[in-house]
Chain A
C-alpha cells in the first residue's frame, strides 16, 4: 500500500468518521482515499475551502465528540497553526497528518524534515506542546495513526503524525489484519465534555468548548493544567527504537525516512568494524532524552542526521548535556541523504581521535619532542668530548702523565717489595723467639699435673 492510503485506511479502522482537508502535494492520496471510503463507512469527507477552514471544521467536529482527522503538507500546516492553537486551548482531541515537504515558503514538493521545529515547539501561538509521532515505515504509519487517536482522546489534545513525502508516497507491503477494526483503548472515558447538543444533566452540564480565559489568573491556572498534562505525556508516552547501541562508540540519532538510510549506513560501518548504533525517536515530542543519555556509557560521539539544516540536533545536544560532541549531517530542500554520504561522515568521525585520545596523543608528542631535544643536547656534549679527546695536545699530556705515573709506580713497587722482604725476615725472627718462650712454660705445666 502507498503510505498515504495506508494512513487513511488506518484512521478509518480506528473509528475516524470525519475528515476535512484541502489539496496539497504530497499528501493528496489521503483526501482522495477518504472521499472514496468515508461514504462507504457512513462517515463524512468534506473538501474545505482552505486549510484554515479545514482545521476549524476539525475543531467543530472534535469539539462535538467525533474522531476526526485532517492532513496536509508544510505550507498547509502553517495555515492550520491558528486552529491548532485554539484546539489545544479548548482541549479538543484530533489527529493532524503532516507529510512534510521542502520549505520555507512554497518550497518544493519533495520530502523534507524541516518542519521539526514547527511541530515540536508548537507552531501556533501560546504556551503548549503537542505529541508528534514520526513513522519510519508504512507499517509503522498505520500503527502510529491509530495510536494517535487513542493519545488524542486520552489527553484531549491534537496529535500530529509527522511523515515526509517519502513515507507518504512509498509503497510497502502492509499487514492490516491487526489494524482492522481497531477498538479505542480500554482506558478511554466517554466524552461527556463534548458539545453534542445533549440535554444538560447533573453529570453532564452544558458543554462549552472554549480557549478564551479573559482573567489572567484563570488563564494561568488553565496553562498550568495543560502543563501538568504535558508532564504526564512525557512520563508515559515517550517512544523510541534503539539499534546496536550496547557497544556503540558513535550513536546516530535520526527519525522517519532518514533513520532508514542511517540504518544502512550503520550496518555498513559495522562491517568495517566501526562501532555505530542508532536511537530513532518515534515520538519527536516527547523527545527520548533518557534513551540518548543512556548511550553515554559507550558513546564517544553523536551524529544527528536529518533532512533539514539541523533542527532535531538541538534536542540531541540538550539530551547529551554537553558531555560528548554532537555532530550533524543533513540534506535539505527536498534532497535526501545517501547511505554513502552518511558512511563517509561516520568514517571521518571514527578516524578522528576522541578527547581522551587527543590528550594522550598530545602528551606523547610532547614527550617525543623532549626526548629529541635531550638527544640533541647529549649529542652536542659527545661531539665536544670527542673533539677534546682527539686533540693532539690533550693526547700528549695524557701520554706524559701516563709515563710519569708509570715510573713512579715502578719505584714505589720496588720499595714496597724490599720493605716486605725486610718485614718477612724480622717477622721470622720474632716468631722464632716467641715459640722458644712458649715451649719452656709448657714443660713446667706438665710437671704440676704429675704431682697431684
Chain B
C-alpha cells in the first residue's frame, strides 16, 4: 500500500497535551515538517516559551532549551551566537512575546538576530486560565477583563508584526492563520521562507500565526475557528509585513 501521509520525524511520539480544537498541534507540525524538509532539523536548536507551548521541548525532536517567560529571544541569541551555522528558533505565545518579553523580541529583531521566531497569537493567556493578554481584542471578555477589554482603562492590543516591521533588523515578517487548509498551506510556506532566510544569514525572521483557544474563549472548536475569521483577522490582518528579498527573485 502506498504511503500517502507520514508524520514527520521532527516530532517525537509524545502525544500533545493541547486542548481539543487548539491549533498549536497544527503549527507544531508545520514547523517540524519545514525543519525536516529543509534538512536542518537534526542539528536545530529550539527554544520553548512559558505558556501553553511550555512543553514544546517534549515534541520537537531536536536539541531544545526551555526559557523563562518572555526570554526566549535572548536565550536563542546566546545559542545562535555560539552556533551561527545551526537553525535556531523560538516558539512563543502572545503573553510571553508581546507582554513580559516585549523588550527581548524588539531587541532581537532590531539586532537582526539570525533566528526564526514562531509567534502564536490567540489573544489570551491560555496556560494560566484565560486572562487578558496584550493582544486581547477591545471588548473581549477574559477572566481579568470580565466586562470586556475597556481600552480607556487598559489600552489597546499590540500589533507585533506591524511594530517590528518598522525596524531595520528583521529580514522577514509575515502574519498567517491556520483556520483552514489554504491558510495552513500559506502558513507552512511562510515558515519555510523564514527558516530559509535565517540559514542564508539574512537577519531576523518571524512568522505570526493567528491561533484559536476554544477552551478559554468559551467556544466549540468550530465556533472558535469562525471567530478567528470574523473577529481576529480584521484586527490582525494577514500578510507579509517585511521582506528584504521582495522585488528581487520574486
Interface residues of A (CB under 8 A from B): 18, 20, 44, 46, 48-50, 52-54, 56-66, 68, 82-83, 86, 90, 195-200, 206-212
User: With A90-B66, A212-B54 known to touch, is A64 a contact of B71 (CB < 8 Å)?
Assistant: no
Bound-state Cα–Cα, A424 to B42, Å: 148
From A43, which residue of chain B is reached at the shortest CB distance?
A: B81
From B106, which residue of chain A is reached at the shortest CB distance?
A: A49
Cβ-neighbour of A56 out of B55, B62, B67 (below 8 A): B67
Residues B78 and A207 in contact, CB atoms below 8 Å apart:
no
- Does B45 have its Cβ within 8 Å of any Cβ on chain A? yes
- Does B83 have its Cβ within 8 Å of any Cβ on chain A? yes
Contact with A along B61-82 (1 / 0, CB 8 A): 1111111100100111111111
Q: Which residues of chain B come closer than 8 Å to A46, judged between CB atoms?
A: 77, 81
Cβ-neighbour of A196 out of B66, B83, B103 (below 8 A): B83
User: With A53-B103, A83-B68, A199-B43 known to touch, is A62 a contact of B63 (CB < 8 Å)?
Assistant: no
Residues A209 and B64 in contact, CB atoms below 8 Å apart:
yes
Interface residues of B (CB under 8 A from A): 42-45, 47, 54-55, 57, 61-68, 71, 74-83, 86-88, 103-104, 106-107
From B43, which residue of chain A is reached at the shortest CB distance?
A: A197
User: With A59-B67, A64-B83, A65-B82 known to touch, is A206 a contact of B77 (CB < 8 Å)?
Assistant: no
User: With A90-B66, A195-B45 known to touch, is A57 a contact of B82 (CB < 8 Å)?
Assistant: no
User: With A206-B62, A208-B57, A208-B64 known to touch, is A18 a contact of B42 (CB < 8 Å)?
Assistant: no
From B47, which residue of chain A is reached at the shortest CB distance?
A: A60
Cβ-neighbour of B79 out of A82, A195, A198, A200 (below 8 A): A195
Residues B79 and A56 in contact, CB atoms below 8 Å apart:
no
Question: What are 19 A-B contacts with C-beta separation under 8 Å?
Answer: A18-B78, A44-B81, A49-B106, A52-B74, A53-B71, A56-B68, A57-B77, A62-B78, A63-B79, A68-B78, A195-B63, A195-B65, A196-B45, A196-B63, A197-B86, A197-B87, A198-B63, A208-B63, A208-B64
Residues B81 and A208 in contact, CB atoms below 8 Å apart:
no
Bound-state Cα–Cα, A102 to B106, Å: 32
From B65, which residue of chain A is reached at the shortest CB distance?
A: A209
CB distance from B159 to the nearest CB of A (A): 21
Residues B75 and A60 in contact, CB atoms below 8 Å apart:
yes
Bound-state Cα–Cα, A334 to B170, Å: 44
Cβ-neighbour of B45 out of A54, A64, A83 (below 8 A): A64
Bound-state Cα–Cα, A207 to B65, Å: 8
Bound-state Cα–Cα, A147 to B87, Å: 33
Residues B63 and A59 in contact, CB atoms below 8 Å apart:
no
From B57, which residue of chain A is reached at the shortest CB distance?
A: A208
Residues B103 and A195 in contact, CB atoms below 8 Å apart:
no
Residues A212 and B66 in contact, CB atoms below 8 Å apart:
yes
Residues A206 and B68 in contact, CB atoms below 8 Å apart:
no
Cβ-neighbour of A49 out of B44, B88, B107 (below 8 A): B107
Q: Which residues of chain A come closer than 8 Å to B45, judged between CB atoms?
A: 64, 195-197
Cβ-neighbour of B57 out of A48, A57, A59, A210 (below 8 A): A210
Residues A56 and B74 in contact, CB atoms below 8 Å apart:
yes
User: With A197-B45, A212-B54 known to touch, is A52 a contact of B63 (CB < 8 Å)?
Assistant: no
Bound-state Cα–Cα, A74 to B245, Å: 45
Q: A197-B83, A197-B86 given; name 15 further pairs at CB < 8 Å.
A: A52-B103, A56-B104, A57-B74, A60-B81, A61-B78, A62-B78, A64-B45, A64-B79, A66-B82, A83-B71, A195-B63, A197-B87, A207-B63, A208-B57, A210-B66
CB distance from A191 to the nearest CB of B (A): 11
Cβ-neighbour of B74 out of A44, A48, A62, A66 (below 8 A): A48
Q: Which residues of chain B come closer than 8 Å to A83, judged between CB atoms?
A: 68, 71
From A61, which residue of chain B is reached at the shortest CB distance?
A: B78
From B60, which residue of chain A is reached at the shortest CB distance?
A: A206
From A82, which residue of chain B is reached at the shortest CB distance?
A: B68
Residues A50 and B103 in contact, CB atoms below 8 Å apart:
yes
From A199, which residue of chain B is reached at the shortest CB distance?
A: B42
Bound-state Cα–Cα, A83 to B68, Å: 7
The 6 closest A-B pairs by CB, nearest first: A60-B78, A197-B86, A56-B74, A61-B78, A195-B63, A49-B107
CB distance from A44 to the nearest CB of B (A): 5
Bound-state Cα–Cα, A20 to B54, Å: 25
Cβ-neighbour of A200 out of B42, B54, B76 (below 8 A): B42
CB distance from A50 to the nearest CB of B (A): 6
Q: Which residues of chain A come closer than 8 Å to B75, judged between CB atoms?
A: 56-57, 59-60, 63
Q: Which residues of chain B come closer than 8 Å to A197, judged between CB atoms?
A: 43-45, 62-63, 83, 86-88
Residues A61 and B81 in contact, CB atoms below 8 Å apart:
yes
Q: Which residues of chain A come closer than 8 Å to B55, judged between CB atoms?
A: 212
From A209, which residue of chain B is reached at the shortest CB distance?
A: B65
Bound-state Cα–Cα, A373 to B66, Å: 83
CB distance from B82 to the nearest CB of A (A): 4
From A67, which residue of chain B is reached at the shortest CB distance?
A: B82
Bound-state Cα–Cα, A274 to B44, Å: 66
Bound-state Cα–Cα, A252 to B75, Å: 43
Q: Which residues of chain A come closer than 8 Å to B103, judged between CB atoms?
A: 49-50, 52-53
Residues B78 and A56 in contact, CB atoms below 8 Å apart:
yes
CB distance from B53 to the nearest CB of A (A): 12
Q: Which residues of chain B come closer than 8 Å to A44, judged between CB atoms?
A: 81-82
CB distance from A12 to the nearest CB of B (A): 16
From A87, which residue of chain B is reached at the shortest CB distance?
A: B68
Q: Which residues of chain A come closer than 8 Å to B104, judged between CB atoms?
A: 49, 52-53, 56
CB distance from A163 to the nearest CB of B (A): 24
Cβ-neighbour of B65 out of A50, A58, A59, A82 (below 8 A): A59
From B110, which residue of chain A is reached at the shortest CB distance?
A: A49
From A89, which residue of chain B is reached at the shortest CB distance?
A: B66
User: With A195-B45, A198-B63, A210-B66 known to touch, is A59 a contact of B78 (CB < 8 Å)?
Assistant: yes
Q: Which residues of chain A come closer than 8 Å to B62, judged between CB atoms?
A: 197, 206
Bound-state Cα–Cα, A65 to B68, Å: 19
Bound-state Cα–Cα, A288 to B80, Å: 40
Q: Which residues of chain B come closer than 8 Å to A65, judged between CB atoms?
A: 82
CB distance from A279 to the nearest CB of B (A): 38
Residues A53 and B107 in contact, CB atoms below 8 Å apart:
yes
From A207, which residue of chain B is reached at the shortest CB distance?
A: B63
Cβ-neighbour of A211 out of B63, B64, B66, B83 (below 8 A): B66
Q: Which residues of chain A come closer than 8 Å to B83, judged between CB atoms?
A: 64, 196-197
